[in-house]
Amino acid sequence: MRVEYLLWKAPPGNQLIGSEIPSGNDPRQPFVGVDFFGFGTQSTRELDLSSIGTQGANGIRGTYGIDFVSGSIETSFFGMASENSSVSVGEADLLGPEFGTTDLISILTSVDGNNPGTDGRQFNQKVAVNYQHSAWGLESNYVINTERLLFRTYYGAGGLQIRPLVGFRYLKIGERMEIKGGFEELTTTPPQPFFETTIKSETSNKLYVPQAGIRMEFVHPMFTISAQPKVGFGVNNYNGSVLTNQFWSESDPTHVTQISQTRFAPTFEFGVNARIHLSESFTFNVGYNFLWANQVARPGGIIYYNTSSSNPNTGVSLQAKNSLDSYKLHGLVLGAEYRFP
């Protein structure tokens, strides 16, 4: 029986919040924004998610195994605490190019699927992005004892043992992103009172994955060093939604669009571990675990930053799209194992 503390993270990467710009330059850097309300030239830029999810969250993993002559059955469960992270820009940060910053933060959109970054929503008061991530999973594996595949040694005897394993994994990934931005300009004619735009994007992924791997261990009476790669080929049943409220103006109502599909989803996991044998029954372990899954829906990727020229004010502002990304969950593992006599 093994219980482990996890400090894992799953950052979404540097996903851009908005569309690309026509020049092809990086919109994360200041560029000349679209003139509106007769303001003249404005310096603006777009935000991304590069600072999201970099701290990691606490979790726990429990494993219970039973040894037989032909092999071992091991079942484990892990769960991560909900991780919340954010990035924000306030009015004091928007001081104009003479301060080395920008006048505005923009979320640019394409128009009718063409001309990237030709329109969009600007904010001059505040912009805040809040991101929430959670994950948990269950897996069961059968680790095969065989003298025919290289060789096998037993606890305390010393040497290298290599054993194949087969099993099944269930993985649940839930993420949510909320963007809030404010705009106000009272010096123009007509004046624009303050109004706040809200964008919410949520995804839920359920992965069902048969898997196979190899457990490699170097056993010493005082310690054990192990490495365990596993490859899986399964399916991901996912759904997602995108909500916008007052995207263009106060008169732009709430819009919600949704996606739901099942796709093939490969996975790969690699764990390294060092165990110190405090006694024949009790060990302490420290390690690192890396889990990768492809074809996963993520909140930053399913937003289609596009508007309709025929119905720009009352139509759907932004939509949910079937866009799948890779997912990486990795970090530190600390734990202890007890082997019943």
pLDDT tens string 263-320? 999 999 999 999 999 988 999 999 999 999 999 999 999 999 988 776 655 556 788 9
Per-residue pLDDT at 136? 97
d(CA 317, CA 179): 14
Mean pLDDT of the chain: 87
In whole angstroms, give the CA distance from residue 337 to residue 341: 13
Contacts of 130 (CB under 8 A, 6+ apart): 84, 85, 86, 177, 178
pLDDT higher than threshold 70 for residue 41: no
pLDDT of residue 152: 59
Residue with tokens 């394993």: 165
- Residue 100 pLDDT more than 60? no
Does the structure show a pLDDT above 80 at 40? no
Question: What pLDDT, on the 0 to 100 scale, is given for residue 133?
Answer: 96
* Residues forming a β-bridge with 32: 43
What pLDDT is attached to residue 156? 45
At 341 the pLDDT is 81
In the chain the first and final C-alpha atoms are separated, in Å, by: 12
> Distance between CA 317 and CA 304 in Å, rounded?
9
> 207, 64, 216, 228: which is closest to 140 by C-alpha?
64
Q: What is the pLDDT of residue 314?
A: 55
Predicted confidence at residue 91, as pLDDT, reads 77
106-110, 154-158, 297-301, 326-330: least confidently modelled range = 154-158
Strand residues in 246-323 grouped as ranges (E): 255-277, 282-297, 303-304, 306-307, 319-320
Give the pairing of strands 192-219 and 159-185: antiparallel
Q: Which residue has the tokens 């074809």?
A: 295
Query: What does the chain come to in residues?
Result: 341
Task: For strands 104-111 and 43-45, give the pairing.
Answer: parallel
**Strand, coil or helix: 156:** coil
259 beta partners: 240
Q: Is the pLDDT of residue 63 over 90?
A: yes
For the ranges 58-72, 166-180, 301-315, the lowest mean pLDDT is seen at 301-315
Alpha-carbon span 182 to 104, nearest angstrom: 11
Q: Which residues contact 148 (CB under 8 A, 6 or more apart)?
A: none
Least reliable range by pLDDT among 33-37, 197-201, 211-215: 33-37
Characterize 283-308 residue by residue with b for buried, 16 or more Cβ atoms within 10 angstroms of its Cβ, and e for exposed.
bebebebebebebbbbbbbbbbbbbe
What pLDDT is attached to residue 313? 57
Between residues 192 and 320, the one the model is more confident about: 320
CB 108 within 8 A of CB 90: no
Amino acid at 216: M
Establish whether the linkage from the previous residue to 190 is cis, with ω within 30° of 0.
yes
The answer, yes or no, to whether residue 75 has pLDDT greater than 70, is yes
**Residue that wins the pLDDT comparison between 19 and 135:** 135
| Phi, psi (rounded to 5 degrees) for 50 | -65, -25
With a cut of 90, say whether residue 250 has pLDDT above it. Answer: no
- Whether 24 shows a pLDDT value over 80: the answer reads yes
* Neighbour tally for 236: CB within 10 Å: 25
pLDDT of 155 higher than 70: no
Candidates 297, 295, 307, 296; CA nearest to 258 is 297
What's the pLDDT at 208? 98
